[in-house]
Amino acid sequence: MADLTPTRLAQRPQLSEEVADHVRTRIMSGEVRPGDFIRLDETAAGLGVSVTPVREALLTLRGEGLVDLVPRRGYLVSPMSRQDIEDIFWLQAELSKRIIDRAIPRYEAETLEHHSHLIDDFEAASAAGDTDGVVRAQYAIHRSINRVSCSDKLSRFLGNAARYMPYRLYAQDPAWRANALEDNRRMLEALRAADVDAAHAVVDDEFSAGAQLLVEHLDRAGVWDEAREPEAAAQA
């Protein structure tokens, strides 16, 4: 389960975005479930911020379809399905493959060497059990490919889709870290060989595995509508 210990964000820039990331992670990791209310005062107190950035964050999440506004009651978590999760990961895979297509012809010895060092950083963070370090390293690896591709707008679309992923949930899982390290190494070899098919295979494996892991986690958390029906029936 993701570590959601309250953290003071009062001095951080882009405060409402930070709060939105925090609440989005709680939703996507199943910490809060569809039908649960997100309390402004409680969220603000837990993060050490005022209510204003929390309200702004919830407006952002409403636009993303993650929360709904109930008049005079507040914001509650929107319904979510397995198909929603699968769609999010499918979109990321398709965008990533397009970016890879553009990046591969642009890779040179220097950028390949830099990419190799980023994988070393990931391996070191994983071996140390450094969750934050793993998140940073994996982000840097993907960002490196995006930058080489020179596809700014496409990379932004991918970044928006990637916001839904609870990265700490993955980074805390030793099995995921081991698989991710292997995928990163496979991708490096595909980049070195300019092998588009091999690179696409890595992307498909990475995102299909990520979707499966998250669906299984949310199954256990009981976030799907059908998982809540017996509870609702018992209360009727």
Q: What is the number of domains present in the chain?
A: 2
Does residue 11 carry a pLDDT above 80?
A: no
Question: Are residues 140 and 62 part of one domain?
Answer: no
154 lies in a domain?
yes
Question: Are residues 162 and 70 part of one domain?
Answer: no
Global confidence as pTM: 0.83
Question: Are residues 214 and 103 part of one domain?
Answer: yes
Q: Encode pLDDT of 183-221 as tens digits.
A: 999 999 999 999 999 999 999 999 999 999 999 999 998
Domain boundary among 50, 79, 108: 79
First to last CA, the chain: 31
6 lies in a domain?
no
8 lies in a domain?
no
Average of per-residue pLDDT across 82-98: 96
Q: Report the mean per-residue pLDDT for the chain.
A: 90
236 lies in a domain?
no
Domain boundary among 48, 79, 110: 79
Inter-residue long-range contacts of 127-132, CB under 8 Å, 24+ positions, other chains counted: 131/3, 131/168, 131/171, 131/172, 132/171
Does residue 8 carry a pLDDT above 50?
A: no
Question: Are residues 69 and 122 part of one domain?
Answer: no
Residue 203 contacts by C-beta under 8 Å, 6 or more apart in sequence? 93, 96, 97, 100, 187
Percentage of the chain modeled with pLDDT above 70: 89
Residue 78 and residue 94: Cα distance in Å, rounded? Answer: 26
Rounded to a whole number of angstroms, the CA Rg of the chain reads 19
Does residue 42 carry a pLDDT above 50?
A: yes
Q: Encode pLDDT of 111-165 as tens digits.
A: 999 999 999 999 999 999 999 999 999 999 999 999 999 999 999 999 999 999 9
Structural domain range at position 151: 82-221
Burial class for 90, CB neighbours closer than 10 Å (0-12, 13-18, 19+): middle
Of 40, 61, 54, which is closest to residue 10 (Cα–Cα)? 54
Beta carbons of 2 and 172 less than 8 angstroms apart:
yes
Question: Are residues 59 and 93 part of one domain?
Answer: no
Beta carbons of 23 and 53 less than 8 angstroms apart:
no
pLDDT at 12: 52
- CB count within 10 Å of CB 177 equals 21
DSSP 52-70: HHHHHHHHHHHHTTSEEEE
